[in-house]
Structure 1
Amino acid sequence: MTDTYFTIGMAGHIDHGKTTLTKALTNVDTDRLKEEKERGISIELGYAPLKTENGAHVSIVDVPGHERFIRQMIAGVAGIDLVVLVVAADEGVMPQTEEHLEILQFLGIEQCIVAITKIDRVDEVMLELVTEDIRERLEGTIFDGAPYVLVDSVSGKGIEELKKTIFNQLKNVKFRDAYGSFRLPIDQVFTVQGQGTVVRGTIYEGVVQKGSQLTLLPKGHKVKARQLQVHHEEQEQARAGQRTAINLGGVDKDEISRGDVLVASDHFLVTDTIDVALQLINETFSPIKQRAPVKVHVGTSEVMGKIVFFDRNELEQTNEEVLCQIRLDEEVVVRRGDRFILRRPTPVETLGGGWVIQPRGGKYRFGEETITMLQEMKEGTPDDLVEDVLAKQILLDVKQLIQQTSLDEGLLRETVAKGITEERIVEVSAGKYSLSKTFIKLKDEVLERLHAYHEEFPMRIGMSKAELVQTFSSAYPKPFIEYTLDKLAELNEVRKAEQYMALGNFEPHLPKQWKTRMEGIITAIEKDGVQVKKWEEYTGGTPIPKADISEMTAYLLHTKQAYRFMEDTLVHRSAVEAAVAKLQAETEVEFGLKEAKDTLDLSRKYLIPFLELLDQLGVTTRAQDKRRWAEKDGR
């Protein structure tokens, strides 16, 4: 158990001896407030180190037992690994004992030791009755079979046996993850003269170093860990499972509240809507109506919200787990798997508890479809969680995946790498991922869209890439669309031509409906050679719609079957090639206007546009009043 850190909670009814027992174990009085001394009860959380001889580092949390301080109690036990349930021998199980038991189970605390205190006040018969009463109460619960220790905190009887039992039980506790991202839910905030703002809490996961730059959520303040203490001893670092005080720089006490969370990375979500698996208390209560106000305790936060059901309009006591959603009035910091307690604000009572399925819930429809979805999400493996998130969000980076799935970074990266190897996940760009099936879906949609576009506009060389991207931009992120188009081009399923995209096997062609008439127009301009008429004289009077005439014009120009000759005329490519061949045969490398006119027998109306077209095509180059053949010039 070397280099392991644990937190133990003392729970139970008021005045059953939790604080006295803590002092007997640690020699520390955890009643530190004046009011606590005067009233003889614990109001705030008290902490003390339990010295061990086997390398474990243990903190004991003395949580308030009075029902008025239940919030502090929940905040205190939220981070514990083992609970010592304290029951006074002269009173037995009391109301607060019952409520603490419910809360402990809902928070997922599995290890328990029963400490029966004040044994000097009762005889053997009473002690047997109290012990049997506790056994009956724990029967059927997660604490059934927990070890019992009889103690008298004043005389010290049973204290060493309790320590030994604690150390034995801790061997069965899975210590907290020190390799995840640092997270510390704050349960105490105060100032120290000459030091400034100090926060306390139990580190849920990860490691914090002195001097670390941290973020205070949900407000987003950037702060610095100027000093770390564990049980009043300054440390260079603190780890998961340790009760830690951090002196913060960059923030005032008034800017921090119990329930805020210190983190060292951007792997954590701030959310006001959580999907949850809820287990109710094992006793009758007034039904909870749809959207009824509830009080949620998660981590060290206490937040009001509304409960939303998807398979009922009213919730009565049931032993079945209920899948539902809580919409909070304030933002909290949670991850998948975090435990919570649900209480009714009026009349104040504990209703149940459970765990967070999805830290950022959505707007779902009422009905079995949503319940099925939540059930699948609840039972999901890491692979399922990643695929479920990517199915909804399409394209996410590592940070966003960690936020959405609550997987730690190491496991997340392993899961993604496995998904890529198995061709379930694709890396769209450096560190950004999507599902292969989403790529296939968009690929099919792109091919279908291009096919439809070619059917509608067969004479166009393709669809504008910008228009194609815009077509899918409402359903897919732009980088994912770009990735899909690039992949389709690599596979030769689509072809890029300038700013246009077409199917790989597509060639622009005349539409079947007007093919014969259009071929007639094309034949007519080819027959007229260079001395063509205005374009509208060829196209006018035909039944071909103007829109299709415009399409045909663009088609001839894009496919280079014709060239723009004058503003209102087109000349066929074959006519240009024939005239060029004739002119080249009759002239030297350099020629003038008169030589061209004599050779081609053209009027200036046609000759000047023709020679300018040759310049545009790069067939000739002009130097003052002469032109040179580019091909002959290069020989």
Structure 2
Amino acid sequence: MHVVATAGHVDHGKSTLVRALTGSDPDRLAEERRRGLTIELGYCWTALDGVGDVAFVDVPGHERFVTTMLSGVGPVPAALLVVAADDPWMPQTAEHLAALDALGVSHGVVAVTRSDLADPGPAVARARAEITATTLAGAPVISLSGRTGAGLDDLRSALVTMVAGLPTPDPDAAVRLWVDRRFTVRGAGTVVTGTLPAGTVRVGDVLAGDGRVVRVRGVQALEREESAVSGVARVALNLTGDVDDLTRGSVLTTAGAWHHTSVVDVRVTGPNDPPLNPRLHIGAADLAVRHRPMGPGIARLSLERPLPLRIGDRCLLRDPGRRTVWRVDVLDPDPPRLRRRGAAARRAEVLASADGTPRLDDELARRGVAHRDRVQQLGIPLTDGDHLVVGPWLVGRGAAEALARRLPELVEAHARQHPLDPAVPVSVLATRLGVPAGEIAEALVRPPLRVVDGRVRGPGTDGLPPSIAASVATVQRELADAPFAAPTADRLRELGLDERALAAAERAGLLWRVAPGIVLLPDAADEAVSRLQTLDQPFTTSAARQSLGTSRRVVLPLLDRLDRAGRTVRLPDDRRRLG
């Protein structure tokens, strides 16, 4: 299926033309037929030779319904601009054309209607002149009469050529469906409609959006029940779940595939600067935003509610009072906070060269570090490059080099501040580098730095301070003859070995801290098991104490450590056996 939206001034014959092309009436509301103008979005379809089904979204042309018009045009890739031969170029036509231009609609046909009521020549010339400076430049301009049918074949031919040139959307893309109508069907429940630009919606799919989760109970396209529909297509979805707040402007997405944001950095293009509080239109959504200029053409928008946006999205700002529109290109839907004076101007400089095309190398150059999932949510293709890949994290080459240069200084500073614990845990190093994961810091380590047991060591940090090393050597000598006669607290204090020093000795592999204030040689566990093997099994604590030649102060925590290591097993009667 292909989808084309109409545009043009009220009472210029849009609905009549759609009716002539399709044989169906897009004005389905009684109020629309009574008043003779389109109020809500309507759509009809027909089959065109060579391109298949083409659905027309018929939008209102009255200035009071511009919001509705934009909700119909927003997600649609092609337009049919309608101009009446018996009317001058009208303000609403100009506004609709400006909106199509701002949205980047480059596939279109201009239909000059009512050629049976007036010479279409002037209207054709004016239309060609007006579209020349827009994205519709070069679009065919066809004169016709919806009432008599004259020129309809030429219009159909032009539509076939235009539709055949539309890009083919990706059926596997993540779904983002802007809801443009919501109603209730007796016996079915809630139904929403919208234009699906890409991706596939299937019966049974779970979609998310605006903090809600819904399940697709039924899918309909062109009034036919389908098990699945791929974009571009007009779809009606029968939904169940959290549907109470669904309305026009709501958006349904593939769960987890989109980044929902209320702050976005954009490029704004237009005749002048937008006001402080314009309206933002994207898809079928219309919401208030706060516009903050940051530099020439670069602005930050704060949205009244989060939307699923990606780099390269095209939307528009509108000032209803001045009937002016501005083109908006999304540059960064996940921007950094502006914390310091002058940060806005610096941010504008960073984004000055951005053109809205998502490129991984460019984004990593700006962000430094990014998670793979967030990159995909922002619509950035995962491509090969010279960036660093660390698990789910991607680190730009420039960021990796800059971070790696900082490491030696940070490790050295830590060693000076903690002489008994000179090795820096990678988690601490990550915090000081300002990166989100310790694995990133570990991946940046280069010689002479090295990683040992999750800690980064610098050159010359293997040994203990001389005074501590001498005291530890004394303890080692005393334990050599009596390996389980752990020095007393008084003896450790006499040697200047507090808990910090003992911990450092243990990390260096010189002692084993069995419990606070109790240290043995590093191989004491193996020696203890070897001696306990000579006892009758099971054995008592007293027998173990005598075999090891030590005191209850030492044997109790030692046996507890052996129990936890599975090398001994404590029985219900408090005796033990080897594990």
TM-score, normalisation: structure 1: 0.72
Aligned-pair distance for 1:170? 1.9
Which secondary structure state, in structure 1, belongs to the residue aligned with residue 7 of structure 2? strand
Matched positions, count: 521
**1:282-431 maps to which residues of 2 (within 5 A)?**
288=274, 292-311=276-295, 322-345=297-320, 347=321, 349-364=323-338, 365-378=342-355, 382-388=359-365, 391=368, 394-397=369-372, 399-404=373-378, 406-407=379-380, 412-413=381-382, 415=383, 418-419=384-385, 422=386, 424-426=387-389, 428-429=390-391, 431=392
> Which one of the candidate residues 206, 212, 216 is aligned to 2:205?
212
> Which one of the candidate residues 437, 447, 453 is aligned to 2:414?
453
> Which residue of structure 1 lines up, in the alignment, with residue 125 of structure 2?
132
> Which one of the candidate residues 212, 234, 245 is aligned to 2:225?
234
Do the aligned partners of residues 472 and 35 (structure 1) sit closer, same or farther apart at CA in structure 2, a change above 3 Å counting? Answer: same
Query: Per-residue CA shift, 1:316-335, capped at 9, x if unaligned?
Result: xxxxx711111111222222
Indicate yes or no: 2:14 matched with 1:18. Answer: yes
Which secondary structure state, in structure 1, belongs to the residue aligned with residue 303 of structure 2? strand
Aligned-pair distance for 1:101? 0.7
> Which one of the candidate residues 78, 81, 85 is aligned to 1:82?
78
Task: State the alpha-carbon separation in 2 of the partners of residues 236 and 368 from structure 1.
Answer: 51
**1:132-281 maps to which residues of 2 (within 5 A)?**
132-215=125-208, 217-219=209-211, 221-252=212-243, 254-281=244-271
Please say if residues 272 and 360 of structure 1, whose CA atoms lie closer than 8 Å, have aligned partners that are also in contact. no
> Which residue of structure 2 lines up, in the alignment, with residue 317 of structure 1?
none
Moved more, 151-160 or 47-56: 47-56
Name the aligned partner's letter for residue 29 of structure 1: D
Task: State the alpha-carbon separation in 1 of the partners of residues 79 and 517 from structure 2.
Answer: 92
Which secondary structure state, in structure 1, belongs to the residue aligned with residue 95 of structure 2? helix
What is the percentage of aligned positions where both structures have the same residue? 25
**1:89-128 maps to which residues of 2 (within 5 A)?**
89-122=85-118, 126-128=119-121
Aligned-pair distance for 1:230? 1.2
Query: Per-residue CA shift, 1:360-412, capped at 9, x if unaligned?
Result: 33333455421121224436652234414751xx3513x322123x23xxxx3
Aligned-pair distance for 1:570? 11
Structure 2 spans left out of the alignment, 5+ residues: 482-486, 523-533, 535-545, 560-579
Q: Higher helix proportion, which one?
A: 1
Task: State the alpha-carbon separation in 2 of the partners of residues 109 and 560 from structure 1.
Answer: 70
Do the aligned partners of residues 433 and 370 (structure 1) sit closer, same or farther apart at CA in structure 2, a change above 3 Å counting? Answer: closer
Name the aligned partner's letter for residue 96 of structure 2: H
Name the aligned partner's letter for residue 268 of structure 1: W
Name the aligned partner's letter for residue 481 of structure 1: G
Aligned-pair distance for 1:39? 0.7
Task: State the alpha-carbon separation in 2 of the partners of residues 571 and 202 from structure 1.
Answer: 74
> Which residue of structure 2 lines up, in the alignment, with residue 62 of structure 1?
58
Do the aligned partners of residues 154 and 482 (structure 1) sit closer, same or farther apart at CA in structure 2, a change above 3 Å counting? Answer: closer
Which secondary structure state, in structure 1, belongs to the residue aligned with residue 69 of structure 2? helix
Aligned-pair distance for 1:449? 3.0
**1:603-618 maps to which residues of 2 (within 5 A)?**
612=550
Which secondary structure state, in structure 2, belongs to the residue aligned with residue 449 of structure 1? helix
Query: Per-residue CA shift, 1:38-73, capped at 9, x if unaligned?
Result: 110000111011212214331111111000000111
TM-score, normalisation: structure 2: 0.78
Query: Per-residue CA shift, 1:569-597, capped at 9, x if unaligned?
Result: 99999xxxxxxxxxxxxxxxx9xxxxxxx
Name the aligned partner's letter for residue 228 of structure 2: Q
Do the aligned partners of residues 445 and 336 (structure 1) sit closer, same or farther apart at CA in structure 2, a change above 3 Å counting? Answer: same
Moved more, 435-444 or 174-183: 435-444
Task: State the alpha-carbon separation in 2 of the partners of residues 161 and 327 from structure 1.
Answer: 46
Do the aligned partners of residues 449 and 297 (structure 1) sit closer, same or farther apart at CA in structure 2, a change above 3 Å counting? Answer: same
Query: Whose Rg is larger?
Result: 1
Do the aligned partners of residues 300 and 500 (structure 1) sit closer, same or farther apart at CA in structure 2, a change above 3 Å counting? Answer: closer
CA-based RMSD of the aligned residues comes to 4.0
Which secondary structure state, in structure 2, belongs to the residue aligned with residue 32 of structure 1? coil
Please say if residues 493 and 503 of structure 1, whose CA atoms lie closer than 8 Å, have aligned partners that are also in contact. yes
Task: State the alpha-carbon separation in 2 of the partners of residues 166 and 524 from structure 1.
Answer: 93
Please say if residues 46 and 62 of structure 1, whose CA atoms lie closer than 8 Å, have aligned partners that are also in contact. yes
Do the aligned partners of residues 484 and 119 (structure 1) sit closer, same or farther apart at CA in structure 2, a change above 3 Å counting? Answer: same
Structure 1 spans left out of the alignment, 5+ residues: 312-320, 540-545, 574-589, 591-607, 622-635
